[in-house]
Structure formats: C-alpha cells, structure tokens
Amino acid sequence: MTQIIDGKAVAARLRSSLAARIAQLSFKPGLAVVRVGEDPASGVYVRNKDRAASEAGFASRTIHLPESTTEAELLAQIAALNADPGVDGILVQLPLPKHIRSEAAIAAVDPAKDVDGFHPVNAGKLASGLPGLVPCTPRGVMHLLAEAKAKLSGARAVVVGRSQIVGRPMAQLLLGADCTVTIAHSRTADLPGECRRADILVAAVGRPEMIRGDWVREGAMVIDVGINRMPDGKLKGDVAYEEALPRAAAITPVPGGVGPMTIACLLENTLEAALARRA
Ligand code: GUN
C-alpha cells in the first residue's frame, strides 16, 4: 500500500510542539511580515502566517506598505525591523512590486532574523554545511521524509527545479543527509530518465502534472512541492498524482502535503532565531 503523507497532520503537530515550547519561555518570539502592494495571493499567505503565528504564541505583526513604496522606503523599514529588539524574524513577502529589486530587499534583512533563509549569507552557510536559517519549504520536505521514515543515507535523490527558494536549498539539505543528489531542470537532457533513477523524487517546477506516473520508479518516495491553481480554481501538483500513486512507496498529496509545512517551518525558524539571538 502506498503511504499518503499527511502534511496537514504533520504541520499541526509541529505547530503544537512549537506552541508548547513557547509557553515555557519568559518572552514571546517576534515575527514581522512585510507585504508591499496588493498581490491577492500574498494577502492570503500573509493572513495565514499571521494567524498561525499568533495561535502558536508568537508576537506577530504584519506591516502592509502601499504599492507606491519605493525601494529606499522598504529598505528603511527593514532596517528599522533589524534594529528592533522585539523582532526575531523578518519575512518580506514575495513577489514585490516590479520597481523594487527583491534581491535588494532580501540582502537588507539581518541574516540572524532571516527566517525565510533567503539571504546570501544563509544560502552560503547551507551550501557550506554550516548551521544557519534554512528556507521553510525544503525544511518542511525534510520533516515529511522523516515522517515517512525515508532512508536517506546513500539514497538517490532527484530534485526537479533549481529555484533559490526550493530546488537549490532542497538539494543541499538532501546532500547534508547523505543522499546522492541530482538537480534536474528545464534544460535537463533526459528528464524522465533522471526521474526514474530516483529513490526520492522532489518535484518543484511549478507546472501542473508535468512529472508523469511512468517517470516514478517502483517504490520511490515522491514529494510534490507544486501548488498550481487551475482555471477551475482547483489546486494541482507538479506530479500526475493518480498515475504516480500506485508506483510510489509514499507520496504527498496536493493540497495537504508540502503546503501546510511551509508556515509551520517558518514558525520553527522564528523560534530558532529567537533562541539563537538570546544565546
Ligand atoms: N511568496 C511565496 N512563497 C514565499 C515564501 O516562502 N517566502 C516569501 N517571503 N514569499 C513567498
């Protein structure tokens, strides 16, 4: 029987264990989320983060700046949060309006408060095998692999997608767990063939059902990071789920797989940043 990995349940357990740890502290770890402009999807994400953070006992605040905010104004806001002792974690919601360079905003966040793990210092630490803040979605995937009792040491892992946010840090985490890692992408010569070699297949391409069932090795673990909104409003992953299901040993559904882990790991990063800053 294929194991369907219940990300919603794993995320709920992680959030309640964080809440229990926070209840023991003499302070509330602080999370600041900065949103610029009116991207509707960002509005939903930011509200969900704020609610989850408050429920778990964080001091959460959202700073919503107008679309007309200049890059200099955003950097000044980030500098103020860097200097604020009550703020342990800063997240600048992406995408930003086109006139603001996201790399400038990311680089402006104090690496010790960079709970997205996007700052080049944290990306460099991860690539060097040093401790630092790790991007939330790949961190969530590692929790799900642990939940599914994946044997990582020596396993062949194939990550499809090379983004800064998921693919690259995902590959680094799997390498750190002693997998033999391949990063495949849109220019990979034989993508189905690369996928068929995978004991652990992580799909993070952002194209609905691009990974077909016959690309999945019998007994592989399949982690689907894709969240693709279809014209009918439904969500689809990057993996053709029904096709892959009978072949996989374990698989994450969409929705209810990786998605719920991202916010839980944001909270985990914020608690970690808060404890490290006070150590
Ligand atoms: N927009 C979509 N996902 C993310 C994320 O993980 N972090 C940030 N900052 N913005 C996002």
Domain with 220 in it: what CATH number?
3.40.50.720
Domain with 36 in it: what CATH number?
3.40.50.10860
pTM of the model: 0.98
* Whether 98 and 154 share a structural domain: no
Q: Which atom of ligand 1 is nearest to the CA of 137?
A: 6
Is there a catalytic annotation at residue 164?
no
> Of the residues 116, 199, 224, 238, which is catalytic?
116
Residue 215 lies in a domain: yes
Distance CA 95, CA 234 (A): 22
* Whether 104 and 140 share a structural domain: no
Say yes or no: CB of residue 136 within 6 Å of ligand 1. Answer: yes
211 closest CA partner among 247, 258, 166, 164: 247
Residue-level pLDDT at 244: 98
Residue-level pLDDT at 255: 98
Residue 270 lies in a domain: no
Q: Which residues of the chain have pLDDT under 70?
A: none
Question: Counting every residue, how long is the chain?
Answer: 279
Contacts of 82 (CB under 8 A, 6+ apart): 90, 108, 109, 110, 113
Residue-level pLDDT at 3: 98
Could you tell me if 194 and 237 are in contact, meaning their C-beta atoms sit under 8 angstroms apart?
no
Residue 123 lies in a domain: no
Residue type, 268: E
* Whether 103 and 64 share a structural domain: yes
Residue-level pLDDT at 71: 98
Is there a catalytic annotation at residue 49?
yes
* 267 Cα: distance to centroid of ligand 1 (angstroms): 13
Say yes or no: CB of residue 116 within 6 Å of ligand 1. Answer: yes
Residue-level pLDDT at 93: 98
* Whether 106 and 140 share a structural domain: no
Residue 197 lies in a domain: yes
Residue 274 lies in a domain: no
* Whether 80 and 151 share a structural domain: no
Could you tell me if 63 and 79 are in contact, meaning their C-beta atoms sit under 8 angstroms apart?
no
Residue 7 lies in a domain: no
* Whether 185 and 245 share a structural domain: yes
Residue-level pLDDT at 53: 98
Residue 248 lies in a domain: yes
Is there a catalytic annotation at residue 116?
yes
Q: Which residues of 148-169 are buried (b: 16+ CB within 10 A; e: fewer)?
A: bebebeebbbbbbbbbebbbbb
Residue-level pLDDT at 272: 98
* Whether 86 and 163 share a structural domain: no
Cα dihedral 219, 223, 228, 232 in deg (nearest 10) = 50
Residue 77 lies in a domain: yes
Say yes or no: CB of residue 91 within 6 Å of ligand 1. Answer: yes
Q: Tell me which residue range forms the domain holding 57.
A: 26-110
Stated as kind and residue range, the H or E segment containing 35 is strand 30-36
- Number of domains within the chain: 2
* Whether 159 and 247 share a structural domain: yes
